[in-house]
């Protein structure tokens, strides 16, 4: 494991969007005293997502996503943050078929809308960062 992984804090940002969709992004903050270089591919899909209603896991349905990617290299200065966007949007649907629907950018929480805790682990090049968590209440 790269020692830099322990120097990067992750914050999961959740933003409600039209149509009941939820956008995700990830803010990385360098807690060290030296710049940290990161490399990843855009669109960013290299993360694991778990969702929980209370302590109960919620099934996540992810359609197949096949697209071209571009390499991205960034440097995060000490004390600074860097945001990574993902095209993935979340929605709630207890009746989603196993295929996940026809939009590969929409992942589905197979559940009625309820307050959830989302937990994400990022894979950025050789680094594994997280998990980072955030709460989301679709009623708010």
pLDDT tens sequence across 68-115: 899 999 999 999 999 999 999 999 999 999 888 889 999 999 999 999
In this prediction, residue 18 carries a pLDDT of 92
Of residues 66 and 83, more confidence is placed in 83
Q: Are 67 and 23 in contact (CB under 8 A)?
A: no
Domain ranges of the chain: 3-136
CATH code of the domain occupying 3-136: 2.60.40
Whether the predicted pLDDT of 1 surpasses 50: no
Report the pLDDT value the prediction gives residue 100, as an integer from 0 to 100.
86
Report whether 108 contacts 90 (CB < 8 A).
yes
pLDDT digit string, tens, across residues 10-57: 999 999 999 999 999 999 999 999 999 999 999 999 999 999 999 999
CB 12 within 8 A of CB 120: yes
């Amino acid at each position: 494991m790269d020692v830099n992984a322990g120097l990067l804090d992750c914050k999961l940002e959740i933003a409600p969007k039209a149509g009941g969709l939820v956008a995700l992004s990830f803010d990385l903050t360098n807690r060290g005293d030296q710049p940290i270089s990161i490399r990843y591919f855009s669109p960013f899909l290299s993360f694991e997502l778990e969702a929980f209603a209370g302590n109960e896991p919620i099934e996540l349905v992810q359609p197949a996503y096949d697209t071209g990617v571009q390499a991205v290299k960034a440097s995060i200065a000490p004390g600074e943050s860097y945001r990574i966007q993902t095209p993935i949007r979340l929605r709630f649907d207890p009746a989603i078929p196993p295929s996940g629907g026809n939009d590969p950018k929409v992942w589905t929480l197979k559940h009625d809308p309820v307050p959830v805790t989302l937990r994400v682990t990022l894979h950025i090049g050789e680094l594994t960062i997280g998990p980072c968590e955030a709460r989301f209440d679709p009623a708010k």
